[in-house]
Amino acid sequence: MQWKHKDLLDVSQLSEGEVRHILATAAYFREINSRPVKKVPTLKGRSVVLFFAEPSTRTKTSFDMAGKRLSADTFALAKSGSSLVKGETLKDTALTLQAMNPDGIVIRHSSSGAAQFLAERLDCSVINAGDGRHAHPTQALLDALTLSRRWKGDFAGKTVLILGDIAHSRVARSNVLLLTLLGARVRLCGPRTLLPPRLDAWPVEVFSDLSAACKGADAIMCLRLQLERQQAGLLPGLREYARTFGLSERHMAAAAPGCCVLHPGPINRGVEIGSALADSAESLILEQVENGVAVRMALLFLYLTRKSPDAAQVAAQSGMPE
């Protein structure tokens, strides 16, 4: 069976079965990352360009690490180090990269639709590492893997609260789609000025009161305030935001037993989440980072080989025990 997708632009491209297959594949690659020797020859001879036109620590580093652990050659390209700063168009940059015959390009860009723009013009696989406010599919997939491990793969009946700057968050959009697809109920909570328009068309329940939103939640995902994308006047101030919408340990009392906390990072401690809660046993923030490498290993494998093997074949090709 072949993996039918050339590109990963948004989670809306994926069926529930395909999402679960990605998570199962990532679970096998996660085992590699716990070994003393973490490198396997799965993608030896393949090349991946990491084209990051926006700053990134977690996503870029984890894609770089994922490629190297699969023995692929990775090449990093930042906007400041590319001809984009000289006035070259994204199209010409893409065609230049295509002429070098990479097997895949991972792109992060400030413009929504940039990943699709490249995918429509290039023969190699394009993986969206975040485009504007549009989508961040690999973050949603690693969040799903993190919750799947906590819930043993069963999302049915679970309630996930996404809290904070929803309007400017591509992470929120991708997670709403993916968590709903897997059977979870999704709540949103944030200041009215930081909620997107037409939420009545989203499959979510919207709250303006944080205590009410936390009641019975099985997982709470905090989002960073994206001040660089916001217009002036959307917030009265960080102190007021932290007092009204900052998640702290006292809010966890209303949540369901075993409720866990996630955050895509970077964290602004004391603003969107209390420092003590970020470091608590309920926090899965560092596990998200760990799972990010495994998910991106799975994605590079699937999209660069266009194969969709069963677990035994994944194990054999990766040098893992079946």
Instruction: Please enumerate, by residue number, every residue annotated as part of a binding site.
Output: 58-59, 86, 108, 136, 139, 170, 224, 265-266
Binding-site residues for carbamoyl phosphate sit at 58-59, 108, 136, 139, 265-266
Omega cis (within 30) before 137: no
- From 81, 50, 45, select the one nearest 65 (Cα to Cα): 50
69 backbone dihedrals φ, ψ, rounded to 5° = -70, -20
CA R_g for the chain: 20
Read off the tokens for 300: 């590079």
Query: Is-contact 160 285, C-beta < 8 A?
Result: no
Binding-site residues for L-aspartate sit at 86, 170, 224
Read off the tokens for 259: 């409720």
The DSSP secondary structure of 263-295, one letter per residue, reads --S---BTTTB-HHHHTSTTB-HHHHHHHHHHH
Strand partners, 200: none
Query: Is-contact 178 11, C-beta < 8 A?
Result: yes
Query: Is-contact 142 13, C-beta < 8 A?
Result: no
Tell me which DSSP letter residue 244 carries: H
3-state secondary structure 6-46: CCECCHHHCCHHHHHHHHHHHHHHHHHCCCCCCCCCCCCCC
Q: Quickly count: other Cβ atoms within 10 Å of residue 316's Cβ.
A: 12
Q: In what order do the strands lie in the sheet with 73-78?
A: 73-78, 47-52, 104-109, 125-131
Cβ burial, residue 176 (10 Å; 0-12/13-18/19+):
buried
